[in-house]
Structure 1
Amino acid sequence: MKSIGIPEIRNYKRTDYKGGTQNWNIDQDANNNLYFANNDGMFMFDGTVWSKYELPNKSVVRSLKTHSSGKIFVGGYNEFGYFKPNSNGKLVYFSLSKFLKNKNTISIDIIWKIHQLKNEIIFQSFNAAYIFKNNQLKIIKAPTRFQFSFLVKNTLYFQDINKGILKYRNGNLTAIPNSTLLNNTEIWGMFPIDNKIIISTLDKGLYIYQNNKIAPWDTDANWFIKKNSGLGGVAMKNNHLVLNSVVDGVIICDRNGKIIQHINRKKGLQNNTSLTSFIDKNENLWLGLDNGISFLNENSPFTFFGSSYNLSTVYATIVHKEILYVATNQGVFYHRWSIPFREEDFQLINGTEGQAWNLQLINGTLFCAHNRGAFILNGNLISRTLDSTGYWSFKGVPGKPDKIIASNYNGFSLLENRNGNWVLINQIKGFSKSVGEFELSNTNLWVKKDENLFQLKLDSNYSRFISIKTHKKLSEKDSGITSVQRIKNSVVFQYNNHFYTYSEKKNKFEPNMFLTKIFQKIPKTNTIVEDKAGNIWYVVKETLGVLKKTPNGTYTNTSNPFLNFTQYLVYNNLSINTLDSKNIFIGLTDGLVHYDSNQLNNINSKPKVFIQDFTTQETTIYTSSNTSVDKKITIPYASNFVKFRFSSPTFENVENIKYSYKLNGFDEEWSNWSSATIKEYTNLREGKYTMNVKVKNSFGIISDTASIPFTISPPWYRHFIAYLFYLILIGATIRVIRDRIKIKIRRNKYYETIEQRRLYLEKEARIRQEQFNLEKEIEKLNNDKLQLNLLAKDKELVTNSLQVVKKNKILNGIIQRLKDIDTSTFDETNKFQFEKLRKSILKEVNSDKSWKDLEKHIKNVHFEFLKRLKEKHPTISPRELDLSTYLLMNMSTKEISEIMNISGGGVELARYRLRKKLELEKKESLTGYLMRI
């Protein structure tokens, strides 16, 4: 049990659980669900959802007791019985008191206590005790009037207002000696400590019962109960007691009655009257208050000092001369280390109001770096002010115990011890940047500022920096610098978890493989601090972790325990102060954490996760109220919209509890971790599914998987019987279709025969037609060939005719020349011969009819062409018909001019007139047009 700081407190108001104000009793079932006896009924809390269960007469519930069978026995006004889960896990109430009412017994009144003693369940009211055993009720009436009853080490005690304390055994009550002295007060609690019993009364304080004697328990706890009125309590492990009070919350005391913790409204409770207290299975404390419910995380290794102790943002802590000093943004506060922390607040040291950055103990002197200067603290006073400039931190010069280098808002200064007093010597010249943390090695001062690392070299008098080097990277591989720190008494530099030291001889950074190796499995860090015990603390983004040093020199990594408060770390001024393994202080933005690393073993148990509700649109299929899934769950297809609600009865740091789920048969992967406790699936197909859920608590520990298998039936049209019907229907349809096909085949065969005959005849006719067309084509080709031959012959004939024309022209020319010859000079013989020659030539010319034959032949050959041309162009002249024929025969202009006995220009003019008469476009070929006719 921790005596330093306040545990995490979580208050549940009546608006959270939606019930009455007062809570009278608390218990926990096998699944770790909690139950509360409340003015409005019984409330169940599964870590996520509050559920309300009422008694039939709507009365207050004053007592309850969970049972290993899954029953929750409850007692109220004139009513007692038990809730039991039905087949779906829903809690259903069964009354036991009704059997008494049927017998016209006395009024039951309020059932204040319920106990389980071996195989008996005892319900205690003021008038009687009702023993439920083997499904039968037995009544033990109070000798006078019962007050309350208590089960201590398997022995049940009753307080009677006249007989004193009675011991119950085998159905009988026996008074214990000397117990009537408590008749004038109410006993609210009896607790075992060693071989004694501590008795807590309402207004007479605490008593000790031992060896049949009762005497006051003269302790601090007794004084507290007398002052604040006791309402019982509960025993914790290691003989610690939780004692409730009416006026001032609860206290936790040890076996000697020394108060270890005092938790009241000032320390975070929502109400100072605690009606009941309960220790859950994780050794955490629950309080049923006069107005609300509170949870105290007593099993945690962490406790807190916050605003209730006058602390705000913490930048540094130190213990010196039995005083704990805390530097905050509001000043330096202190608390005597030897005085219990339960009552006294931290006190402000006068003169330190404002921002305090650091506290450092150097050579037995406590220095304070403050926004308003550098101070020396002694006890609860400022014993000396060294400088009025704002300061960040101090470092002793290695090998110079009388000298200190201090960083301030203007750079660095030198402090020196002269005649037993520390004094400011000078401001070190050459560097005026304001820096927080720095490190010293030999005559080098190392400063990490922004992205640069400055290496400042001091002169021998520490009056100035004689050189300043700027480094931007540690090596070619590591092209940057993240932090500089002192580890294992060496200044080391870090980038991406790769560590280096600086070699003066080589004037370079050299890898530090030892530190690099121990950080190789840790994500990239941005802040690293080594504490006094050699543990290395680091920050990854917003997560705090520690490499704890073991006796053999190795390190073990721990980070999960710190997940609950790392979002409140002061990241730029990480404050870790390790006094020993049981006392570690961590600064937060809203106070101080006390960490006992020896208690880590208490938080390593696996959390549990349960699928609390499994519902469809129509109904609740399953509720996990102490039941296991031992039945087959089948859901109709119409209800294939399913919803699961899951929870973990883990009550520590509930903000950091995360769930992951996977529906086998639908999801391929587990979902991402989230705080969602409800998952819905819509339109699931028929088939077998298994819903799996697991939880991860705030310490990163993952639970076993909770599972629910279920089956979704197919819709009626996809049911087995439907498929059988489909097969029968398909078979019958196939039979009908087959018969119809056979008939159709026979009919089609007849028509097919006729059709084939018709197609044969059509094919035969088509072949004959094609043969005829082929013959026509051949004939046409032959005609075309003949025509081509005729054209060639025409061409040849024309050529020959032209030769004849040329010959005649020559002969005519000769005749003309002969006419010009004077024959008068010839003798008769020569004249006769000459005349004979001339007549012979003349006869040859006159007798040549080849040209007329040529014209006749051309007209005969091209008769059809000339006929078509005349029909198409009736106005065409005979001369133009001749020209068209010559052009059709592809005769040249020269040949045409010779035939038509005109010049070449006349031919062109005739062509132009022909084109105009034929109405041809400019670009259209005259010869091509004629060939198309």
Structure 2
Amino acid sequence: MLSFKKTIIFIIYLYIGVAVAQVKNIGLPKLINYKKTEYGGGSQNWDIGQDKNGNLYFANTSGLLQFNGTSWSKSTIPNATVRSLKISEDGKIYLGGYSEFGYFETNKNGKLVYTSLSKLVGPNSKKIIDFVWKTHIVNGEVFFQTFYRTYIYKDGKISVLEAPNRFQFSFVVNNTLYFQDIEDGLLEYRNGKLVKLPGTEIFNNTEVWGLLPFQKNKLLVVTQDKGLYIYDNGTLKPWLCEADAFVKKNNSLGGRILMDKFIVLNSVLNGIIICDEEGKIIQHINNQKGLQNNTALNSFVDKTNNLWLGLDNGICFVNENSPFTYLESSYGLGAVYASAIYDGNLYVGTNQGVFSHDWKKSFKEESFTFLEGTAGQAWNMQVIDGQLFCSHNRGLFTINSGKAGKFLDDKRGYLSLKPLPGKPGFLIGSNYHGFAIFEKTPSGWQFRNQIEGFNISDSKFCTDGTNVWLRKDVAYRLKLSADLRRFNTVNTYDSLDGKLKGITSVQQINGVVYFQSNNRFFTYNALNDNFIEDKKLSAYFKGLPMIRYCFEDNKGNIGYFYNESSMGMLMRNANGGYKNVLSSFAPLSGNLVYFFESVNTIDTDDIFIGITEGLVHYNPQLQNTHPPKPKAFIRSFTYANDTLVTGNMARVKDIDILYKFNNVKFTFSSPIYDNPENIRFTYKLEGFDEDWSTRTNVPVKEYTNLREGSYRMLVKVVDSYGVMSDPTAISFDVSPPYYRHPVAYLLYVGVIAFGVYFVRRRLQAKIRKSKYYETLEQRRLYLERETKIKQEQYELEKEIERLKNEQLRVKILTKDKELVNNSLQVVKKNKLLNGIIHKLKDIDAEVTDEAAKLRFGKLQKTIVKELTTDKSWNNLEKHIRNVHFDFLKRLKDKYPTITPREMDLSTYLLMNMSTKEIAEIMNISDGGVELARYRLRKKLDLPRKENLTGFLMNI
């Protein structure tokens, strides 16, 4: 009983192992070829390795190539060419080239830096000759193998292992190192010595290019041209199988174990093959099947069980770990619109016609066979009532015994065909002019009639017996007459309920016609002529993308299509429910034949899907073989004219960036190699972006003019299956500019404080100075006012004095005038008295009376005495001279030749006396005055036009 349980468990595990790790024998895996113009290196690629981050490395003739899934880079060594490489646990990449070996490791900036170990070889040692063909790491020792010796590096020292004769190549199997010697056969390296493997001398005349683990502790020996051998504990025997014949015919260059149970064999002439443990070839990939070069120098299995080929010209990725394989142009197929299994053949309807392939034969080599008479567009292929029908643009025909039969109707092109429910022996077909009826007769199926009353059709029509449904902008309900010759009524519907406008698709699921809009499904209620929602079915599509159309396959699975060319499936489970499978079909997005999508479910392991370039085989049992979650890397971080290759670094410390270098650039990568065109990145710079970016296939992002602060760059990747990675982050700080640095702010505070203090002191000083100057100003103003007052007082005093002088002068002038008048009166009086004297003399002569004469004589004496004693004139002249002393002095000083008489005249003129008055005073005539004036003008040298009196007043 226990043994039986163990057997059951073993079978279950075996089945699971087959399901999750299997090389498919139908079709070819997807190939991605990389040309040397893409990776920027030489044509030949001799060895391949992968580091912990998933980056791939290639030993190329022009150096070491690195591929991160997004971009390529190249690092060189002395003598350029690289022949072999191995990556150690600590991330060092050991490699060998022409007369050179050493290792690459990342520096502090994440860039690969080369260290040569060949320089450690002692000067007494033999010179390194030729290429280092193989590099191995075993038990902490690194082996660099050339044809004549192997250099062993450990603990910083080099030791030399000499070849017994001449090494060919070396191999590591189960952590044991083996060599081939051209005379001693296979050798095992044990404790620093070479031990012969008995019975392997047969290989002395050939080259062993591969040594692989095989079954229970056996070795599979792959020779270049002698075939395959199995070595088992000292026994060597040929492995006669299909793969052995391939090796002998095409010359092998070694191989690789794939998924622990499949064998990859490289060839010189015909690409690669993948065989099982019995030597049966499962896949053959060569130039005709899409491989860019038929010489595979090396093969490598990456961490996701996908295959990489180093070719004589280029690199190829083989997507083995995928539920999809492809039968495309290499099998002779074009765009596929339909497929069907019938009579042991797989039939495929294409845009070129119908092709077939024996379902029981291998698909690895044989192309499909074209069926004669089917040239043209094959729209649909259906097995109905045990007969295969082909809907063709030339009509409808059947296929029997691998040949196309006669057209049942060759007057119209047909799109699809369906049985009529409740009408056995009748089929309804949609053609270019509407619909037609076919009837089964004793001689076979025959065209019966074209249905009248409606001339529009669609390949996705449905029928429930009495009604034919199809959608063209609106949904049509066509009611068939009892004799199936016309549509009695035609009804149209443009909505499914009051709120849900438009009808997206009409499809038949589990025998029921469903109408769909916005992922909600309805059935038709003939009683009330309305639609009722099937909420259970709608619930399965809730949360899915908005579909265009869906269908039910023969296993009860519901396939659906969305966007322009994407699909998913609701896989039916045992309890009648559905499991949504969406991401698995992502690699097909964009490749389906739009509107004429074809999905043919044969069994649980075989589903065929038509694409624009051929046919895809899908195994649902392998749908979970892709990695559960991809990894995203910030490949590089560029700033300050420097780049950190962060994708090569285990951990990136926080980075400080000067403000003047606040433009940064990031590149992203992800080691996703199966569908690189479908991967998308989304990123977010915390501290700058509020939300995650939209998904993009551009692996570069640049930020400019970042402000100072702390930032954290996050990036996630979405693979071709729609699985999103966890975010990867790099933190960095942008230092503020010197004028916004904290020290600067402290300085600013200090400066401001000092400024406030300084300004305060200055203000205080200014206030004191202002008060001082204000005091001085007030004092000055006071003194000015005092001086002004004194000046005004002085001026006033002067004015008073002037007024007094003026008053005095006026008074003097008045006195002078009075004096002159008095003088004139005196002159007049004297003249009068002289006249009286003359008259008395005349009277005295005439009077005879002596007494009278005596009296007149006394009177005359009295008058004469008065005239004689009168001194008023002399006093007058003296007074005038005293009053005008200053004037006369200035006049005399200025004109020394002036006479006293002229000075008197000047005084009289200054006194503004008239000519008559002057004449009387000077006792001269008026003419004498004028003559004196004339002479005075000449003495003063005055022009004729200048006023004499005014001139005298200005002296």
Give the structure 1 partner of residue 91 of structure 2. 70
Pairing partner for 1:608 from 631, 647, 654: 631
CA–CA distance in structure 1, aligned partners of residues 531 and 376 of structure 2: 40
Cα distance change of structure 1 residues 41 and 523 upon mapping to structure 2, 3 Å threshold: closer
Give the structure 2 partner of residue 537 of structure 1. 559
3-state SS in 2 of match to 1:568: coil
Give the structure 2 partner of residue 768 of structure 1. none
| Structure-to-structure mapping, 1:153-172, within 5 angstroms | 153-172=174-193
Deviation at 1:619, TM superposition (A): 2.1
Cα distance change of structure 1 residues 583 and 734 upon mapping to structure 2, 3 Å threshold: same
CA–CA distance in structure 2, aligned partners of residues 215 and 644 of structure 1: 57
CA–CA distance in structure 2, aligned partners of residues 630 and 361 of structure 1: 62
Pairing partner for 2:689 from 649, 663, 667: 667
Deviation at 1:656, TM superposition (A): 1.2
1:648 aligns with 2:661: no
3-state SS in 2 of match to 1:400: coil
1:29 aligns with 2:51: yes
Give the structure 2 partner of residue 843 of structure 1. none
Deviation at 1:750, TM superposition (A): 7.0
CA–CA distance in structure 1, aligned partners of residues 375 and 651 of structure 2: 63
CA–CA distance in structure 2, aligned partners of residues 305 and 95 of structure 1: 48
The TM-score, its normalising length taken from structure 2, stands at 0.77
1:136 aligns with 2:157: yes
3-state SS in 2 of match to 1:479: coil
Cα distance change of structure 1 residues 625 and 674 upon mapping to structure 2, 3 Å threshold: closer
3-state SS in 2 of match to 1:359: strand
Give the structure 1 partner of residue 642 of structure 2. 619
Deviation at 1:71, TM superposition (A): 0.5
1:733 aligns with 2:755: yes
Give the structure 1 partner of residue 415 of structure 2. 392
Pairing partner for 1:226 from 248, 258, 265: 248
Cα distance change of structure 1 residues 559 and 723 upon mapping to structure 2, 3 Å threshold: same
Higher mean C-alpha displacement, 9-18 vs 425-434: 425-434
Higher-Rg structure is 2
Higher mean C-alpha displacement, 690-699 vs 610-619: 610-619
CA–CA distance in structure 2, aligned partners of residues 77 and 437 of structure 1: 65
Give the structure 1 partner of residue 204 of structure 2. 183
Give the structure 1 partner of residue 607 of structure 2. 584
Contact 2:77 2:114 in 1 (8 A): yes
Contact 1:629 1:708 in 2 (8 A): no
Contact 1:367 1:376 in 2 (8 A): yes
Deviation at 1:748, TM superposition (A): 4.7
Deviations 1:513-542 (A, max 9, x none): 221221222232211111111111111222
Give the structure 2 partner of residue 894 of structure 1. none
CA–CA distance in structure 1, aligned partners of residues 499 and 665 of structure 2: 53
3-state SS in 2 of match to 1:572: coil
Deviations 1:903-924 (A, max 9, x none): xxxxxxxxxxxxxxxxxxxxxx
3-state SS in 1 of match to 2:501: coil
Give the structure 2 partner of residue 245 of structure 1. 267
Deviations 1:295-330 (A, max 9, x none): 111111111121111111111111112211111111
Partner AA of 2:287 in structure 1: R
CA–CA distance in structure 2, aligned partners of residues 297 and 713 of structure 1: 47
Cα distance change of structure 1 residues 101 and 615 upon mapping to structure 2, 3 Å threshold: farther
Cα distance change of structure 1 residues 479 and 731 upon mapping to structure 2, 3 Å threshold: closer
1:313 aligns with 2:330: no
Contact 1:359 1:366 in 2 (8 A): yes
Give the structure 1 partner of residue 508 of structure 2. 486
Pairing partner for 2:424 from 371, 376, 401: 401
Contact 2:31 2:316 in 1 (8 A): yes
CA–CA distance in structure 2, aligned partners of residues 393 and 417 of structure 1: 17
Give the structure 2 partner of residue 816 of structure 1. none
Pairing partner for 1:451 from 445, 466, 473: 473
Give the structure 2 partner of residue 786 of structure 1. none
Deviations 1:807-858 (A, max 9, x none): xxxxxxxxxxxxxxxxxxxxxxxxxxxxxxxxxxxxxxxxxxxxxxxxxxxx
CA–CA distance in structure 2, aligned partners of residues 474 and 117 of structure 1: 71
Pairing partner for 1:383 from 402, 405, 410: 405
Give the structure 2 partner of residue 431 of structure 1. 454
Give the structure 1 partner of residue 315 of structure 2. 293
Cα distance change of structure 1 residues 339 and 757 upon mapping to structure 2, 3 Å threshold: farther
Pairing partner for 1:561 from 552, 572, 584: 584
3-state SS in 1 of match to 2:651: coil
CA–CA distance in structure 2, aligned partners of residues 337 and 279 of structure 1: 30
1:147 aligns with 2:164: no
Pairing partner for 1:679 from 701, 708, 715: 701
3-state SS in 2 of match to 1:308: helix
Deviations 1:496-520 (A, max 9, x none): 2221212344443222222122122
Partner AA of 1:176 in structure 2: L
Deviation at 1:659, TM superposition (A): 1.1
Give the structure 2 partner of residue 870 of structure 1. none
Give the structure 1 partner of residue 366 of structure 2. 344
Higher mean C-alpha displacement, 71-80 vs 743-752: 743-752
3-state SS in 1 of match to 2:41: coil
Contact 2:437 2:451 in 1 (8 A): yes
Partner AA of 1:7 in structure 2: P
3-state SS in 1 of match to 2:537: helix
Deviation at 1:682, TM superposition (A): 1.9
3-state SS in 1 of match to 2:625: helix
1:520 aligns with 2:542: yes
Give the structure 1 partner of residue 145 of structure 2. 124
Cα distance change of structure 1 residues 206 and 472 upon mapping to structure 2, 3 Å threshold: same
CA–CA distance in structure 2, aligned partners of residues 272 and 553 of structure 1: 49
CA–CA distance in structure 2, aligned partners of residues 401 and 305 of structure 1: 37
Cα distance change of structure 1 residues 211 and 409 upon mapping to structure 2, 3 Å threshold: same
CA–CA distance in structure 2, aligned partners of residues 463 and 632 of structure 1: 81
3-state SS in 1 of match to 2:121: helix
Give the structure 1 partner of residue 349 of structure 2. 327
Contact 2:640 2:657 in 1 (8 A): no
Deviations 1:171-221 (A, max 9, x none): 111111111112111010111121132111111111112242211111111
Deviations 1:429-465 (A, max 9, x none): 32233432321213222222x2222222223332332
Higher mean C-alpha displacement, 681-690 vs 110-119: 681-690
3-state SS in 2 of match to 1:567: coil
CA–CA distance in structure 2, aligned partners of residues 560 and 618 of structure 1: 41
Deviations 1:85-124 (A, max 9, x none): 1112111111111111534423343111111112121111
Partner AA of 1:725 in structure 2: L
How many pairs are equivalent? 756
Query: For the aligned residues, what is the CA RMSD?
Result: 2.1
Pairing partner for 2:434 from 411, 414, 433: 411
Cα distance change of structure 1 residues 238 and 403 upon mapping to structure 2, 3 Å threshold: farther
1:281 aligns with 2:303: yes
Partner AA of 1:72 in structure 2: I
Deviation at 1:136, TM superposition (A): 2.2
Cα distance change of structure 1 residues 505 and 731 upon mapping to structure 2, 3 Å threshold: closer
Pairing partner for 2:656 from 620, 634, 637: 634
CA–CA distance in structure 1, aligned partners of residues 491 and 367 of structure 2: 48
Contact 1:79 1:108 in 2 (8 A): no
CA–CA distance in structure 2, aligned partners of residues 507 and 746 of structure 1: 104
Give the structure 2 partner of residue 81 of structure 1. 102
CA–CA distance in structure 1, aligned partners of residues 637 and 549 of structure 2: 46
Cα distance change of structure 1 residues 21 and 734 upon mapping to structure 2, 3 Å threshold: same
Partner AA of 1:581 in structure 2: T
The TM-score, its normalising length taken from structure 1, stands at 0.78
Cα distance change of structure 1 residues 679 and 403 upon mapping to structure 2, 3 Å threshold: same
Contact 1:314 1:589 in 2 (8 A): yes
Deviation at 1:138, TM superposition (A): 2.1
Contact 2:120 2:157 in 1 (8 A): no
CA–CA distance in structure 2, aligned partners of residues 612 and 453 of structure 1: 53
Deviation at 1:756, TM superposition (A): 12
Cα distance change of structure 1 residues 442 and 54 upon mapping to structure 2, 3 Å threshold: same
**Structure 2 spans left out of the alignment, 5+ residues:** 1-22, 781-955
